[in-house]
Amino acid sequence: MAQVCRLGLLLALLLPVVGASVPGTVVRLNRAMLSYVSEMGKAPLEWALKVTVPHFLDWSREELHPTRIQIVNIHVPRLQLNFIDGFGVRLFAAANFTFKVFRVPAPLELILPVILMADARVAQGSIGTPVVSISSCFSFFNNAIVVDGSHSTAPALLVLVQQHIKAVLQNKLCVSVSNLVQGLNVHLGTLIGLKPVGPESQIRYFMINAPAITNDYISLDINAVLFLLGKPIVLPVNATPFILPELVGTKGAMATVGLSQDLFDSALLLLQKSGALNLDITGQLKSDDNRLNTSVLGQIIPEVARQFPEPMPVVLKVRLGATPTAILHTDKATLQLQPFMEVLAVASNSAFNSLFSLNVSVNLSLQLSVSKVKLQGTTSVLGEVQLTVASSNVGFINVDQVQAVVGNVFEEPLLDHLNALLDMGLALPNMVNLYYVTPEVFVREGYVVISSGLVYQH
C-alpha cells in the first residue's frame, strides 16, 4: 500500500507537466466482463464474509453461559453484477452461512441463508485510476435451518441464537464488502504503472475524466503518455479528442479497446527520437547477408571502380530523420518510412569513405495482433523501394541501376529490424495479472479496435 501511495504522489506531480494534449485510448468493459467477474468473485467474497462472531450469552438456565459460535463454511451459489446507468455497479449475492454453536451437551449446526445487495459508485481517482466505493448496502436474512435435527433445541433458544447472529452479521457483512472493494481499488491502481516499451522508454496510461456508464458497459477515456529517458513524448500539434463509436468490435466481447491515430503517431515519434529505427547494414566480402561491395558498385559507377580497384566491403548507414507515418484505413494499416541512407566503402586502412547518399521512400503493410497485454505488429514491403540521390562523391549516378543493386540489399535487413522492434510490442491498458485472451484486431478509418476476452491469473 505504501508503494502505491508513493507512486500516486509521483504521478500526481507528473500530470500537470504532460498536459491534456496526449494520445487517446478508450477502454469499454461490457456485460460479458461482469459475468466473468461474478464467477471469479465468488471465492473472494466467501473469504471476505468469514467474520468473527462473538460469544452468545445464554441465560436459559438462570445463570450466564458464554457459548462460542463459529462460521465453519460460507457458500455463495449466486453472485450477480449489473451496471447502473450513470452511476456504477449493483451487486446481488445469495450466501449460505454454516454456523457451529458450541452448546452443552452437544454442539448445534445451523445454516443461515443471507441475501446481500450493494450499490457501488465507479469514479475517477485523483491520480487517474478508477475508484470503486460502496454507496449503499443491505443484508436480508431468512430463517436458520438446523442441520442435525436429532439434537433437540428449545425454540426460544434457537430464536435467541439467530437474533444474536443476525445482529452481528448486520453490522459486519457490509463492512466486509467495503473492505473487499478497497482491495480491488489497490488492484485497479496498477493501471497507471509504468510499462516498458524499449530499454530506455516506457508508457503509462491514466484516466482523464469520470467513466461513462450505461446499462451495457462502462467506458474509460484514457490517455497514454510515452516516455523516453524519463521525458514525455508530446506530439508537435494538439491531439484531437478521440471518441470510440458505438457498436464497434465483436458483440459479446468482455473488453473493447479503441486506439487512436494519435497513439500510433506518438509511438512512432518515440521510435524515431530514440534512434531505434536506425540501422547499419554492414558487409563483408562474400557475405550472404550483404552481397554489396565496391566491385559490384564499380560495374555501374566508374568512379567507384577507379577508387577501389580491389573489392572492398560496403556499409549502408540508414538513419530516420523524418518521423514514420501510420495510415489507418478500414481493414488496412500501412507505414510510410523516409530514411536517409549513406553508402560507405571500407578503405584498405579500415577508414570509411562516403561514396554517395540516398533519400529513401518505402511503404509497408502493417499487420497488428495482440499477445497477452501487448499490441504487436509485422510488416511487409508494398511495391518497390524508391530511391533518389541526395549527394554523390563519385560523380553521376544512374538511380535505376543503383536501385536494382542497393534496393535488394536494403529491403530484407530493414524488414528484419522493423519486425524485431514491433514484436517487442506496445503495452495496452492493463492491470497486474489481467490478460487479453482470444483478441481480434480491427483497423478502422483513423483508429484501431481490439475486441477481447479477459482472464485473471494469479
Report pLDDT digits (tens) over 331-347. 999 999 999 999 999 88
- Quick check: 8 pLDDT over 50? no
Please check the confidence at residue 211 and state whether its pLDDT lies above 90.
yes
Which residue segments constitute the domains of the chain, with CATH numbers given?
31-190 (3.15.10.10), 244-456 (3.15.20.10)
Contact 385, 361 (CB under 8 A): yes
The predicted-structure confidence for 57-96, as pLDDT tens digits, reads as follows: 766 556 667 888 899 999 999 999 999 999 999 999 999 9
Max mean pLDDT range (177-186, 226-235, 407-416): 177-186
**Cβ atoms of 55 and 69 closer than 8 Å:** yes
Q: Which helix (H) or strand (E) element contains residue 93?
A: strand 88-101
The span from the CA of 310 to the CA of 342, in Å, is: 21
Q: What is the pLDDT of residue 192?
A: 85
Q: What residue type is 45 in one-letter code?
A: L
DSSP-derived 3-state class of residue 262 = helix
pLDDT of residue 406: 86
Q: Does 236 have pLDDT greater than 80?
A: no
Which of 8, 219, 25 minimizes the C-alpha distance to 127? 8
Range list of β-strands (E), 125-243 = 130-141, 145-146, 195-198, 201-207, 212-213, 217-228, 231-233
Neighbours of 56 (CB within 10 A): 20
Is residue 150 pLDDT above 60, yes or no?
no
Ranking 134-148, 322-336, 438-452 by mean pLDDT, the lowest is 134-148
Would you state the pLDDT for residue 2? 42
Q: Does position 17 have pLDDT exceeding 50, yes or no?
A: no
Q: What is the mean pLDDT of the chain?
A: 87
Residue 207 clears pLDDT 60, i.e. is over it: yes
**pLDDT level of residue 303 (50, 70, 90 thresholds):** very high
pLDDT per residue as tens digits for the range 406-455: 887 889 899 999 999 999 999 999 999 999 999 999 999 999 999 999 99
DSSP letter at 239? P
